[in-house]
């Protein structure tokens, strides 16, 4: 059985979402996108049981001594069935994760650069083969404007050429990029809700 002390649990995240507060639908979406480890799933089972969420398979999931995805995956899917969690495709899972991450960015719960980077590296990149970009980076999921400002922040930070606000000192330009990143996150979130 995986045991996590309180100090470790407060730092334990998957992407930008804490396992302690992750709802079953978010966990299922991350599972479908390959963003939950077997250890994370067992930790979630413990958190949910502690929070009073119960499904018959949760106890079995929690009691796996050396979790492997081949054993944990089917049990996790049984838990989702028992909790009546809607089955999601990988694309629908990605859209849910995007919506929740953007919400966290807009509400100030998730650092904008961390959240947008997570969406870029862990969600967008995960789906580019089955859902390629059309014209702009991230347009397969509607993230092209968010990624535009994220790339400007990255370029600003590593000394590369920036395309916008080149007339401003770099710290001021970077502050503008951060503002635009949050603005575009809010615009996209409005479209998604």
Both tokens of 34, joined, read 């390959």
- pLDDT at 98 > cutoff 60: yes
Q: Is the pLDDT of residue 1 over 70?
A: no
Residue 2, pLDDT > 80, answer no
Cα–Cα distance measured from residue 193 to residue 188, given in angstroms and rounded to the nearest whole number: 9
Taking alpha carbons only, the member of 163, 155, 123 closest to residue 140 is: 123
Q: In the predicted model, is pLDDT for residue 11 greater than 80?
A: no
Q: Which residue is it, tokens 């995986």?
A: 2
The gap from C-alpha 171 to its chain's centroid, in whole angstroms, comes to 28
Percent of the chain's residues with pLDDT above 70: 91
Task: Report the predicted TM-score, pTM, of the whole model to 2 decimal places.
Answer: 0.85
For residues 152 and 20, which has the higher predicted lDDT (pLDDT)? 152
Rounded CA separation 60/40 (Å)? 15
pLDDT, average across residues 28-45: 92
Average pLDDT estimate for 148-168? 94
In Å, how far from its chain's centre is CA 113?
13
Q: Which residues face 14 on adjacent strands?
A: 17
């Amino acid at each position: 059985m995986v045991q996590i002390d309180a100090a470790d649990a407060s730092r334990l995240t998957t992407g930008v979402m804490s396992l302690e507060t992750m709802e079953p639908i978010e966990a299922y979406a991350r599972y479908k996108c390959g963003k939950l480890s077997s250890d994370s799933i067992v930790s979630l089972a413990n958190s949910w049981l502690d929070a009073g969420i119960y499904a018959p398979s949760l106890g079995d999931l929690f009691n796996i001594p050396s979790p492997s995805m081949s054993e944990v995956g089917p049990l996790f899917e049984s838990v989702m069935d028992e909790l009546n969690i809607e089955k999601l495709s990988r694309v629908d899972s990605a859209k849910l994760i995007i919506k929740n991450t953007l919400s966290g960015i807009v509400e100030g719960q998730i650092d904008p650069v961390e959240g947008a980077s997570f969406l870029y590296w862990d969600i967008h990149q995960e789906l580019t083969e089955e859902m390629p970009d059309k014209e702009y980076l991230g347009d397969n999921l509607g993230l092209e404007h968010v990624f535009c400002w994220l790339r400007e922040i990255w370029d600003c930070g590593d000394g590369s050429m920036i395309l916008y606000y080149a007339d401003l000192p770099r710290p001021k330009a970077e502050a503008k990029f951060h503002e635009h990143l949050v603005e575009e996150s809010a615009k996209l979130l409005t479209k998604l809700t």
